[in-house]
Amino acid sequence: MTTTIDKPTTPPDDGGLGFELKKRKRWPWILGAVLLVLAVAAFIAVPLLNPTKSPNEVAGATLYVATAEGNASEQALVEFIAKEVAPKYGITIAFRGLADSNTINRAVSEGEVAGTIYQHKLWLSQVLEANPDFKEEAAVPVFRWGFGLWSDKYTDVSEIPDGATISLYSDPANEAQGLWVLERAGLIELDPSIDKAYATQDDITANPKNLKFVLLDFAAQSRSLPDLDAAVGYTEYYLAAQIDIEKQIFAPAAPDDFAGQLTIGSNYKNTDNIKKLIQAFQDPAVQEFLRTDPSVKDILLPIDAE
């Protein structure tokens, strides 16, 4: 009699639960991960291939007008136009404060904002010379900044002594404006053959009081007034430094070259939104606001100010 012995079988690896565990295939997970990566890449690439339109080109979009952060008077002007004027032209305007000149101008050039009002033509020309990739232009003058001769020691131009030290701003455009004020005050003479908007100290042909000049930036100049005989600068910086307006001893109306401009991106000037924006800033109500509203008094002056 032959006896057959059965080989023991390996029990199923079921953890004692009575069913067989099987390993799932990995390839579906790998494929899913690959597809996810491709989707993310496509999500990133599509905006690059089809850039989002500027709000300047989109009907009904909010059009931001930018100035330097903390500039209360220019903000007040933009917010007045946004509330009282823009609806008449079928557009929505809002204020945006940005950090510095390059940030503001790049945002205008690239269409991130619709425009800015913080600069005159000469400052804009300096910006464009330094940044040839910017595409901007001055569209229309809006106001004149308060700008004049200040003194903590004297109450009249005639009192400024021989050898006095006078501060001008350290950037070329506003240095030229300061020299123009001093010429108007009768303290110096400039070469009549040059464009006064681009004057430098080298263009002074007569300096009868032997004035000495020191160049300072905006905030430093107003802080330094007690140490100077006089300084030529913007009213807003002096009022911000809590210097009484009566310390401004001479303030002629600035020429057109120094008027604050609505600056726009050149690539967007023919869009309906920007055409309406320009119309809004030219509305007569804007000049009336500049003449009468206390939020801009002595700082932003109407275009026809004398």
- pLDDT tens across the length of the chain (306 residues): 444 444 444 444 444 434 344 444 554 545 454 445 444 444 444 344 445 899 999 999 999 999 999 899 999 999 999 999 999 999 999 999 998 999 999 999 999 999 999 999 989 998 999 999 999 999 999 999 999 999 999 999 999 999 999 999 999 989 999 999 999 999 999 999 999 889 999 999 999 999 999 999 998 999 999 999 999 999 999 999 999 999 999 999 888 888 999 999 999 999 999 999 999 999 999 999 999 999 999 999 999 886
User: d(Cα 265, Cα 107) in Å, to the nearest integer?
Assistant: 9
CB atoms within 10 A of CB 245: 15
DSSP letter for each residue of 257-301: GGEEEEEEEGGGTTSHHHHHHHHHHTSHHHHHHHHH-GGGTTTEE
| Residues recorded for the chain | 306
In the β-sheet with 259-265, what is the strand arrangement from edge to edge? 92-98, 62-68, 115-119, 259-265, 136-145, 300-301
Q: Tell me, yes or no, if the two domains 60-146+257-301 and 147-253 fold the same way.
A: yes
Domain ranges of the chain: 60-146+257-301, 147-253
pTM above 0.85, yes or no: no
Q: Which residues partner with 212 through β-bridges?
A: 165
CATH number, domain 147-253, options 3.40.190.10, 3.40.50.300, 3.30.70.20, 3.40.718.10: 3.40.190.10
Please state which CATH class domain 60-146+257-301 belongs to: alpha beta
3-state helix, strand, coil in the chain (%, to 5): 45, 20, 35
Parallel, antiparallel or unpaired: strands 204-206 and 115-119:
unpaired
- Pair of tokens at residue 240: 């911000």
